[in-house]
Structure 1
Amino acid sequence: MLAGLVKMFLGGPFNRIFDTVDHALDNETERQGIRANALSRYAETAAMDRADARKYRVFWFAWGLFVFPLGIWWALVLLDTAMTGVFQLRLGIADLPQSIQPKADLIFASIFGSGGVALASQAVASAIRGRR
């Protein structure tokens, strides 16, 4: 009897509170799904843009103009490190000038980091999308 009275007086407000909480959680899940979809579409669009750019010779010429000298310098640094470690012979390869270093860092990041970032963002997007 007492339980029936408590349920009658408190059942309505509690049901409304729980419905509000459920609705808020559903909205947050939907927002995360939209974010995951947007990230996925952005990654696909960026990949298609890069693929389109790679079709043209001028892209490869411009890319090679910056990457090949940087690659030669990097190979010389590695050779210098190996020679110093094994034979105690220092070749004396200089560091990159401070004006070039930020661009070199960007090139290294784009070569070695772009695949990792794309895979990580796709994994995060699919994980968020899978939580629905």
Structure 2
Amino acid sequence: MWGKIASLFLSGPFNRIFKSIDHAVSNDTKRQEIRANAVNRYAETAAEERADARRYRAFWFIWCLFSGSVGFWFLAITCDTVFDFSWSVADYPRSVKPYVDIIVASIFGSGGLVASAQALSSAIRGRR
């Protein structure tokens, strides 16, 4: 009998506490899902914009202009450093350095990925 009386008085507050905890957890999960969807949508939109930009010749002209000049400068720095010429070629300026790093990484990174994919595919073909 005392158990029924205690459960009568305590079941209401405990039920409300547990329901509010469940509701808070559910709300937090929904917020995280909304955030994840927004970030995913932003990434998809950015990828579509980059893919759309690559369709135009102007993009490739500008890209070749920058990557060509960066490549020439990189060659000059390398030759000056390795072969000890007296050219005194300066390193890239600080304002340009982040962009140059991205260009060099994308050129050599894509070349490295293509070379590794070709090596992997030739190794797989050789096994069969």
TM-score normalised by length of structure 1: 0.66
Task: Confirm or deny: 8 A CA contact 2:67 2:103 kept in the other structure.
Answer: no
Q: In the superposition, relative to structure 1, how do residues 111 and 73 fare at CA in structure 2: closer, same or farther (>3 Å)?
A: closer
What SS does the aligned partner of 2:95 have?
helix
Percent identical across equivalent pairs?
48
Residue 102 of structure 1 is matched in structure 2 by 95
Matched, 1:51 2:35: no
Pick the structure with greater CA Rg: 2
Residue 20 of structure 1 is matched in structure 2 by 20
Aligned pairs, number: 105
Residue 119 of structure 2 is matched in structure 1 by none
89, 98, 110: which one aligns with 1:93: 89
What SS does the aligned partner of 2:55 have?
coil
Task: Confirm or deny: 8 A CA contact 1:77 1:93 kept in the other structure.
Answer: yes
Task: Tell me, in whole angstroms, the C-alpha distance in 1 between the residues paired with 2:66 and 2:36.
Answer: 35
Residue 121 of structure 1 is matched in structure 2 by none
TM-score normalised by length of structure 2: 0.68
Task: Tell me, in whole angstroms, the C-alpha distance in 1 between the residues paired with 2:100 and 2:92.
Answer: 13
Q: In the superposition, relative to structure 1, how do residues 79 and 29 fare at CA in structure 2: closer, same or farther (>3 Å)?
A: farther
Higher relative contact order (CA 8 A, sep 6+): 1
Q: Which runs of 5+ in 1 are unaligned?
A: 84-88, 116-132
RMSD (CA atoms): 2.5
